[in-house]
Structure 1
Amino acid sequence: MADLKYDPVPHNQKDFLEKASKRRGFCEVYDALETEYALVHEMLSARTRAGLTQEAVADRMGTTKSAVSRLEGAGRHAPSMASLKKYAAAVGCTLKIEFIPQPMKR
């Protein structure tokens, strides 16, 4: 079984967004991927809570580290329900999907 030690790479999202938002077109593209980024954030948070590396998750899913990396890459890959369920189980979670009503526009 893969080593379960997790050593996260330091990243300051606030600083990153502040610098990146100054680039032309960044905000439009970032906003268009809001749902994908929210999904990736949930996935990474679950993996962090579980204390697992991508390799350990891959081992539990019966796939490769590169496949897990693609799952965790916002906007580059649209994961299937089957893959999301396997990922959730691998990090000790249950997958829950919600449709949240939007406020009526006038």
Structure 2
Amino acid sequence: MLTHKQLRAHALNRPEVAAEFEKQFEEFALLDEFLRARSEQGLTQAEVAERIGTTQSAVARMESGRGKHSPSLATLSKYAEALGCKLEVRLVRVRAGKRKLTGQSTRTPSGTRTLRAR
């Protein structure tokens, strides 16, 4: 039986899977950061929803990434603030050539997380 890591590596060897993963990597990595931060704060979806003035189901849709609409930057900023964090959006120049995405992030000395791509 394959582990999740082995299955993922095997799947990413398929060009069509790797292309789709590449397209959605940043979005899902960001959602994962929100989930991790909420978990570290020990908050439920309902508690976050109350702090930002929405419903638990709206938070669940946002965290799942399956909603019909992407959340606005204002909503993401409110969510981050509810967790005691600050949302930062940056433009990063993409280097020529392919990169291997690990789907992992690292924490900088200031406590922010940076997505790693190889």
Q: Calculate the TM-score normalised by the size of structure 1.
A: 0.70
- The residue that corresponds to 1:93 in the other structure is 85
Whole-angstrom distance in 2 between the partners of 1:66 and 1:42: 19
Aligned match for 1:41, one of 32, 36, 40: 32
The alpha carbon displacement at 1:53 in A equals: 0.8
AA partner of residue 37 (structure 1): F
AA partner of residue 21 (structure 1): A
The structure showing larger relative contact order (alpha-carbon pairs under 8 Å, at least 6 residues apart) is 1
Whole-angstrom distance in 1 between the partners of 2:47 and 2:6: 29
SS of residue paired to 1:42: helix
SS of residue paired to 2:59: helix
Whether the aligned pair in 2 keeps the contact of 1:36 and 1:75 (CA below 8 Å) is no
* Percentage identity across paired residues of the two chains: 38
Whole-angstrom distance in 2 between the partners of 1:45 and 1:59: 19
The gaps in structure 2 that reach 5 residues or longer are 98-118
**Length, aligned pairs only:** 91
Q: Calculate the TM-score normalised by the size of structure 2.
A: 0.63
The alpha carbon displacement at 1:70 in A equals: 1.4
The alpha carbon displacement at 1:72 in A equals: 0.9
Aligned match for 2:11, one of 21, 35, 56: 21
Over aligned residue pairs, what C-alpha RMSD do you find? 2.6
Q: Name the structure where strand makes up a greater proportion of residues.
A: 2
The alpha carbon displacement at 1:79 in A equals: 0.8
The gaps in structure 1 that reach 5 residues or longer are 1-13
